Amino acid sequence: MIVRPLLLSAAALLLASASAAAQRPAQQPVRPPGEPGERTPLAARGGEAETGRVDSAGVPARERVSTTQHTTVIDGKSIAYTARAGTMVLRDTTGKPKASVFYVAYTKDGEKAGTRPITFFFNGGPGSASIWLDMGIMGPMHPEMGPNGSQPAPPYNLVPNPTSPLDVTDLVQIDAMMTGYSRPAPGVKASEFTGEVNDIKMFGEFIRDYLDKYNRWESPKYLFGESYGTFRSAGLASELQESEGIELNGIMLLGTVLDFQYILPSPTNDVAYSSYLPSYTATAWYHKKLPAELQGLTLEQVVQQSRDYAFGGYLTALASGNTLSDAQRTATAQQLARLTGLSQQFVLNTNLRIEPGTFRTELLRDRHEILGRYDSRMIGLSGNATDIRQDYDPSDVAPSGAFFAAFMRYLHEDLNYTSDLQYYIGGRTGPWEYGQPGRGGSLGRGFPSEVESLRLAMAKDPYLHVLVGAGYYDTATPFANAEYTFTHLGFDQTYRDRVHFKYYESGHMAYLNQPSAKQLKADIAAFIAATVHGGTPSK
């Protein structure tokens, strides 16, 4: 799947630049923080100087949009649509251009623009372009993938996307600063638009200006974020309220991480080990590594057993630290071995704390195979069967070439948009700063988090609902991390009532698997239909 690095600065969490979830810089895969020996220097990720500086001399900020007409088929129905690919200029308080932001918008023809739902969507990184959601589920065209989203052979076919939600909502892809063709203006530093706070502010300004330019203020408004894009969505919901006076009808999240604590396991952060366990169990079940009595259960049944233990007996055992008795250690190791497919001795050797990278290299070690990080169903040959690190991610490789080639072909040939600039898939943003006093992301709280921002947005807007999509085989942002996050979002019933979970037998990019893509499309359509006038989706 796509490398989606969630970059943490050294100041935040005392970690070197590393990745945890969000989308991919185009170059080398970056692995999640907390995995031993898997921290990649910034220079290896994006070709920037070793200092990590990405401040640019800037490019002339011009608003140039290519408008084209198209027809596609969605759910067996012909859909005529207008596509706009181009840049929008953001200006400072004096009206001086400060940046140009690249976007691709799809609007269904024959609809009243002012009242039709509109969804702004973006991938993560931070520092990733948003072509992955566009080519994966949102856009009307996409590359033809292999079975279950596996890697197709080049050259790649660009075909109509039968699961695009364009029939139920207009769509706007936004590329973050220093991704796609988004660039600062001359004399403006790129760092003014990167980092947790600046990035959210830039997206807020773009959405405000887009609504103004295309007269969409009365449209029901939605966000769709994937991976770090979910983190951004949570902060953006509050930013739009506070700074732009914009209320949302709904937020859709896929591959969720709103609080880094739950995906960064360490000896002093036991809860993250618990959040990974149900994903390990689902993966071991898929690869038929569990005991017979578990292997005979359905995926949902075996996951529920693991979920119950993860946040029950297992978390209790981890919280005991070195006061755990030998008998308790043995009993815990036995249960972990049963739920992961790993040997009891191996589990004991990890001090009952199984790192995600270690799990992916250990489960199929006897076959000299490694598991995908973004989709643990996918396997690849191990370069060294004694290593505890992956030398590549088979689930990252699968869509990369096809998605990029398809997007560039579509952009140039169908959308008639070209640029003298290089389209940056990612890896160009440099160090990502976290912390925002006054909202939930303050580093004074420990791990970067936008949970409180989302809670505040939901508290202020009683009609705001959240759809949370989770892949069972996602070991980048495991589904139990999202579950734990939302059970701690707020402690009044209203929060629980307005969060809606949907699960897919797929990975981080649930839409790569066509049956899951069809289910995700149906979930998006149902969510929008229920919330477009302030209603409540069915559970």
Half-sphere exposure of 296 (CA within 13 A, CB side): 3
Write out the H or E segment, with its range, that includes residue 84: strand 77-91
Burial 328-342, CB ≥16 within 10 A → b, else e:
ebeebbebbbbbbbb
pLDDT of residue 385: 80
* Residue 29 lies inside a defined structural domain of this protein: no
* Residue 442 lies inside a defined structural domain of this protein: yes
* Residue 122 lies inside a defined structural domain of this protein: yes
- In 3D space, the residue among 369, 376, 379, 354 whose CA is nearest the CA of residue 471 turns out to be 376
- In 3D space, the residue among 1, 36, 38 whose CA is nearest the CA of residue 18 turns out to be 38
pLDDT of residue 390: 85
**Is there a single domain that holds both residue 144 and residue 254?**
yes
* Residue 58 lies inside a defined structural domain of this protein: no
> d(Cα 202, Cα 190) in Å, to the nearest integer?
11
pLDDT of residue 369: 95
pLDDT of residue 48: 30
**Is there a single domain that holds both residue 80 and residue 214?**
yes
Q: Which of 359, 380, 395 is the last residue of a domain?
A: 395
Q: For residue 195, is pLDDT > 60?
A: yes
* Residue 214 lies inside a defined structural domain of this protein: yes
**Is there a single domain that holds both residue 518 and residue 415?**
yes
Q: For residue 314, is pLDDT > 70?
A: yes
pLDDT of residue 13: 38
**Is there a single domain that holds both residue 254 and residue 298?**
no
Residues 263-272, mean pLDDT to the nearest whole number: 94
When pLDDT is cut at 50, 70 and 90, the band that residue 531 belongs to is: very high
Q: For residue 201, is pLDDT > 90?
A: yes
**Is there a single domain that holds both residue 289 and residue 211?**
no
- Candidate from 7-11, 375-379, 480-484 with smallest mean pLDDT: 7-11
**Is there a single domain that holds both residue 222 and residue 133?**
yes
For the record, the structure tokens of 336 come out as 């972990």
pLDDT of residue 182: 96
Q: For residue 284, is pLDDT > 70?
A: yes
pLDDT of residue 27: 34
pLDDT of residue 538: 78
When pLDDT is cut at 50, 70 and 90, the band that residue 50 belongs to is: very low
Residue 385 CB neighbours (<10 A): 14
> d(Cα 339, Cα 274) in Å, to the nearest integer?
12
CB 504 within 8 A of CB 519: yes
Its pTM stands at 0.90
- Candidate from 44-53, 86-95, 207-216, 407-416 with smallest mean pLDDT: 44-53
* Residue 265 lies inside a defined structural domain of this protein: no
**Is there a single domain that holds both residue 244 and residue 379?**
no
> What region, left, alpha or beta, does residue 378 occupy, with left being phi > 0 and alpha being psi -120 to 50 degrees?
beta
Half-sphere exposure of 2 (CA within 13 A, CB side): 37
> d(Cα 61, Cα 102) in Å, to the nearest integer?
11
CB 283 within 8 A of CB 376: yes
Q: Which of 395, 413, 441 is the last residue of a domain?
A: 395
* Residue 21 lies inside a defined structural domain of this protein: no
Q: Provide, rounded to the nearest whole percent, the portion of the chain with pLDDT above 90.
A: 74
**Is there a single domain that holds both residue 219 and residue 73?**
yes
**Is there a single domain that holds both residue 255 and residue 335?**
no
The CATH number that applies at residue 425 is: 3.40.50.1820
* Residue 328 lies inside a defined structural domain of this protein: yes
- Candidate from 34-38, 177-181, 401-405, 524-528 with smallest mean pLDDT: 34-38
Q: What is the DSSP secondary-structure string of 110-141?
A: TS-TTTS-EEEEE--TTTB-SHHHIIIIISSE
pLDDT of residue 41: 25
SS3 annotation, 409-476: HHHHHHCCCCCCCCCECECCCCCCCCCCCCCCCCHHHCCCECHHHHHHHHHHCCCCEEEEEEECCCCC
Number of domains in the chain: 2
Q: For residue 32, is pLDDT > 50?
A: no
> d(Cα 110, Cα 6) in Å, to the nearest integer?
40
Q: Which of 395, 414, 448 is the last residue of a domain?
A: 395
User: Which structural domain, as residue segments, surrounds residue 299?
Assistant: 270-395
**Is there a single domain that holds both residue 112 and residue 150?**
yes
pLDDT of residue 151: 81
**Is there a single domain that holds both residue 250 and residue 135?**
yes
**Is there a single domain that holds both residue 342 and residue 419?**
no
